[in-house]
Structure 1
């Protein structure tokens, strides 16, 4: 999880102590995020004002009894939640295994793996920011949300397909020399028996997929699915449903690393890729199958009551 904080790598693995608190390249990012989160809480409380835009309130219904908000379609809403869960799962899994994964594949020592993957992730974030800008300020953003989602999920799938340990890749992986440890040299731990039969993903493929495929897939999956989810719910207060949406992503970020770490330790990255290919494939399948239902909530046209010359009401 320290990859985005490659800037702290110069502190080193040993670092220093302030009383009982150990500060090194692994712990400082966590403390930094705690401080940043506290600062953000104060900023939100002091500088932001909560206002609802485009929401039909109870007062509006009283003023115009013809305003009716229909129930939203549950299945498309659940699909959007699942898309968010999958996005969070993939992001967390790659953050979790990228360091040990690159250590065993390219024989990088721990500090180098954190640094290099941090650089790759920074580059990926720049690509992602560029794509988010294009979505927000160019005609690309006018492309139908469903098509953006299909494109983003497809690129996600390609990342995992290219990084699957295909038999035509070179291998097997190397073990750490006897008497050495991961802080000195990279490679497989002696307990990783799967390294004997596991191949190495070519580094150019790993680099291109990490930087560009991730940089493209996240903004074309997360943003459109969240926007579409809000449109499916319609012009009603969405606090509860948005909470469920966020809760799904949080659960994915909690559960996925446990499963991924376990799979990596007993079988390498092969079944990590298989698991994510299956979850992404299901996301793509659901989006295609329910394509016509993944649309914004349709509001009924209000009917106004008029009075004829003879005094009768006409609807």
Structure 2
């Protein structure tokens, strides 16, 4: 352990970790949004239920390996091996993604393997959050996490920009080798594999992943503390001239008992604030539920509601993510360069972040006053069927849908799946309203929530090796993502977006109430320790008057 004077923020290793986080952000923001359109391109009959189920496998793998990697990093007191392994596994995941187009009839198996390996890689590499927490002092913690969020946000902008450039490579594109084509769907994946190698080299040669624990305020047993004090006294007893200690005066005495009691109290372990930990974990779960809706339901929903083709979906999502990333950069920069974290408390920022998610779902809920209906499947550029009955009895339309299934077909089928009866009575929200709300809520809400939630949780844990508990924090928040995608997809296919929006609204309100009720308990470990200490009296010399 290092003393307060020795312990300083290791900015070099933090910035290397941030570069790796930037690489991961570029990979995710350029690759993940193209997965659903790619699957629909390979097979228009691909269902949201299948997509949700496989996304659940991603989350399951992420949960398991985030906890395992955190525990392993604690044991070896180093985060470097897990971060390197995570980047290597990304390359393996991309290999299976590229095989989706090589074997269209077996695309489901390769899609499953892609998501599983991607989840393992994500969970294994998640220990970089632990490294940022343990490589920074508490005073620098907000700035450190802010810099991480800033790099992630830059990646969110760069990724979609690269993806947007790749949309010029029309499907099926150019054949490379082994049946793998370079097109707007596979180009982001191949790029992600290439930059993973850069991340691996940076970590091997420049990154120091050693865990460092600050000695200040560490929790020790009273017996251990006495042993340390006794040892220090034995080493230095001959250095203290006895003549400097005047204890022979008849009118003086030492009030040693009070000093002993004070030391005993100061040595007692300050327990974890379990209420604060549980509230913060629940808040993390709520944030993941919002992300679950954004990543699993919204891509197919907006593609259906706004009648986009696969290419249009990739382009529009790239533009939206670019705008979101720009706003995240703005707020993250404020935390890094303007020290916004010193002006606004973590607790308040977390409440504001959850509030923005609540407002987003309230505004984008398909209220009846929006008017309009979601059209059923039809060929792009042609009038849609007036209702579900007409779509089901239109033989020409059924033939077009069948023809679109052939490999490399140029027929674009857009609109709502014929199995979804809710499309007839679900109002279509205006795209400008949806776009503006998405950009503001994600661009404002996520940096406020993620930066401050990570900072406050690490402060609540205090000066310990945080690998395992950080793994629990990340893993627990991902539990809903195991069964959540399947449940959300089932609810979406059966009832449409209304019930999912109501669920999000409910959990956001519940979380806000918890945050407000336990607001005073959401403080750092050092803050609780200071509040629990009694004033020290020291050695009192009482003199007769």
Shift of 1:249: 3.5
Match of 1:44 in 2: 203
Residue 279 of structure 2 corresponds to residue 121 of structure 1? no
Question: Secondary structure of 2:509's partner?
Answer: helix
Give me the whole-angstrom Cα distance separating, in 2, the residues matched to 1:38 and 1:78: 38
Question: Which moved further from structure 2: 38-47 or 230-239?
Answer: 38-47
Output aligned runs, 1:59-98, within 5 Å.
Answer: 61=225, 63=228, 67-98=267-298
Contact between 1:55 and 1:236, CA under 8 Å: does it hold in 2? no
Larger Rg: 2
Shift of 1:100: 1.6
The one of 477, 481, 486 aligned to 1:258: 486
Q: Deviations over 1:235-294 (max 9, x none)?
A: 222222111012124434444333322222222221221222222222212111211211
Residue 363 of structure 2 corresponds to residue 162 of structure 1? yes
Question: Secondary structure of 1:2's partner?
Answer: helix
Instruction: Give the alignment's Cα RMSD to 1 decimal.
Output: 2.9
Q: Deviations over 1:103-148 (max 9, x none)?
A: 2211111210121012101110110111111233336322111111
Question: Secondary structure of 2:465's partner?
Answer: coil
Q: Deviations over 1:178-224 (max 9, x none)?
A: 23569614211211211001111111111101112210000111111
Contact between 1:69 and 1:236, CA under 8 Å: does it hold in 2? no
TM-score by length of structure 1 reads 0.85
Give me the whole-angstrom Cα distance separating, in 1, the residues matched to 2:170 and 2:267: 63
Give me the whole-angstrom Cα distance separating, in 2, the residues matched to 1:130 and 1:113: 26
Structure with greater helix percent:
2
Residue 513 of structure 2 corresponds to residue 285 of structure 1? yes
Give me the whole-angstrom Cα distance separating, in 1, the residues matched to 2:274 and 2:374: 47
Question: Secondary structure of 1:220's partner?
Answer: helix
Residue 130 of structure 2 corresponds to residue 99 of structure 1? no
The one of 8, 14, 19 aligned to 2:178: 19
Question: Which moved further from structure 2: 196-205 or 298-307?
Answer: 298-307
Give me the whole-angstrom Cα distance separating, in 2, the residues matched to 1:78 and 1:55: 26
TM-score by length of structure 2 reads 0.52
Q: 1:153 to 1:307 in 2, by over 3 A?
A: closer
Give me the whole-angstrom Cα distance separating, in 1, the residues matched to 2:171 and 2:497: 25
Output aligned runs, 1:205-284, within 5 Å.
Answer: 205-284=433-512
Give me the whole-angstrom Cα distance separating, in 2, the residues matched to 1:302 and 1:118: 56
Give unmatched runs, 5+ long, in structure 1: 311-315
Q: Deviations over 1:9-28 (max 9, x none)?
A: 33344244521545543344
Q: 1:29 to 1:156 in 2, by over 3 A?
A: same
Question: Which moved further from structure 2: 188-197 or 67-76?
Answer: 67-76
Give me the whole-angstrom Cα distance separating, in 2, the residues matched to 1:24 and 1:170: 38
Give me the whole-angstrom Cα distance separating, in 2, the residues matched to 1:249 and 1:9: 34
Give me the whole-angstrom Cα distance separating, in 2, the residues matched to 1:79 and 1:10: 46
Give me the whole-angstrom Cα distance separating, in 2, the residues matched to 1:288 and 1:122: 33
Contact between 1:2 and 1:26, CA under 8 Å: does it hold in 2? no
Contact between 2:416 and 2:423, CA under 8 Å: does it hold in 1? yes
Residue 348 of structure 2 corresponds to residue 147 of structure 1? yes
Q: 1:258 to 1:159 in 2, by over 3 A?
A: same
Match of 1:313 in 2: none
Contact between 1:10 and 1:25, CA under 8 Å: does it hold in 2? yes
Give unmatched runs, 5+ long, in structure 2: 1-31, 35-158, 230-262, 379-396, 406-410
Give me the whole-angstrom Cα distance separating, in 1, the residues matched to 2:305 and 2:322: 21
Give me the whole-angstrom Cα distance separating, in 2, the residues matched to 1:58 and 1:76: 18
Give me the whole-angstrom Cα distance separating, in 1, the residues matched to 2:213 and 2:459: 13
Contact between 1:55 and 1:237, CA under 8 Å: does it hold in 2? no
